[in-house]
Structure 1
Amino acid sequence: MGLRVSLLDGQRSVLFVHAHPDDETISTGALIAEFVARDSRVFLLTCSRGERGEVVDGPLTALAGTEELARERELELERATGILGITERFWLGEPPARVDGLEPRRYRDSGMVWIRPGLAGPADDAADDALSVAPLAEVTADIAALIVRLRPSLVISYDDGGGYGHPDHVRAHDAARAATTATGTAFAEVLEAPAGDEEWFDLPQHLAVVTDALRAHASQLTVHGTEIVHSGGQREAIGTSAGLRLHPHPAV
């Protein structure tokens, strides 16, 4: 039996697919920093601007529910990706993450409701142009267009439950996985807790850079020591551990 090759090894380029600004740092900041440290080119595709995100109490509170919040979250994402060392970032629906010949479109934040602590579900007032209600085939084709352009050696996104159930996370997973199947690209999903069939990474050496990147998302969270305080007051430890589960493509 040969030695197992780590998913961190030898990746010339990696594409992360995330639903909203700040997801890239909260759930995969340490992984991104590790790939950068290993000289992989890291690309980020963000599917929406997080227009419906709650805003922390403070000077940005008045932006909640406005177009100004979307612009602020764009700026926050720009700052965070610079801190993490991401090579280039893209918005879903805008070239090159858009099928050739189609007009650019904007996929909006679908919103969510809490079903119980730690588990979200769809909101009943998602707009017609929201990511979670957009045709899966269209979302898939837009992601595939970017994959064809970049030719990453690995694409990473959420697990099939979207991490904690957010409908935009679920749609990002479904579309990213379908797009990698269509393009013959390796796909791995992020796990926040060990499940037994993943490769697990503990990356405490990247705590400082992840913490700095989290601070860039000031409309959505506050950093207190080694904890994230979310807009609703929920607290969680800054994550520097994650699992990756590689999914083989079905035989064709």
Structure 2
Amino acid sequence: MTRRGVSALADEIVARESESGQDAFAGLSTLVARIADEVCVRNESQLAGLTCAFRSRVVVVLGGRALGPYGSYQPEKWQLDERALDEIHVNIGVFLFAQMDSSARAEEIFDTICHELAHLYTRVTGQRGTSGRGNRYHNRIFARIAVALGLRVERSPRSYIGHITTGLSTAGWERYADLVLELEQALRLLPADQQGHPTSLAPSVVVATAADAVPATGKYVSAQCGCRDERGRPRTLRMARGWWLDGTVGCSLCQQVFIESPPTRTSTTSTTPAH
């Protein structure tokens, strides 16, 4: 490396070390909002009006809760003078992020952004993206919009009805690879890897974020142990609820019992659900 290169690297290190946490958070907030806007622009041809809706009525808020959903959409959460504004909330503080590699973190957060934009689009187009008592599951309308946004959509593992988003589809990766990389490189402000958090309370990484459901009471129980794959995703199993008994199923790898995964969505609004 040349002397000039060494000097530039040293300047970069000094700049990073002098950057405050507040500056890092503000920069990441701005980036996430800009990425959400760019997602809208890139999908305007097939989701007409999404860009205008996002720019005119949405506030993007970053959160830092260690437990809970990855994000939510809440209509008319804010007011600017006399104008009502919706909130897209992206939780960057989920403690599992500290255990994932950088690409997995970026994809999960990007998935959250697109997922909440799908809720925004159902709202502004007068469609209903959720169904069931308490708006507890994502229906085919939501699934269709999520696919259009480049998300991979699967049937919910907790029931025979409803859909979840589980990351970007092949088409989504082709459409957003540059944005995901930009987000990955900017994710320097992360939750600390604190071993005190109980793994049994961790939200499942494969479910899409949200707050639109009531506690699961379906035919099957989804449970997880302490194992994580190379990308930080939990090992899960599904068992008929009639056979499930807390504390009786163990994992020989991590020596922990499987514990029922908590609901990843809690209702925050009686209108269009958050996620």
TM-score by length of 1: 0.29
Larger Rg: 2
Q: Which has the higher contact order (CA 8 A, sep 6+)?
A: 1
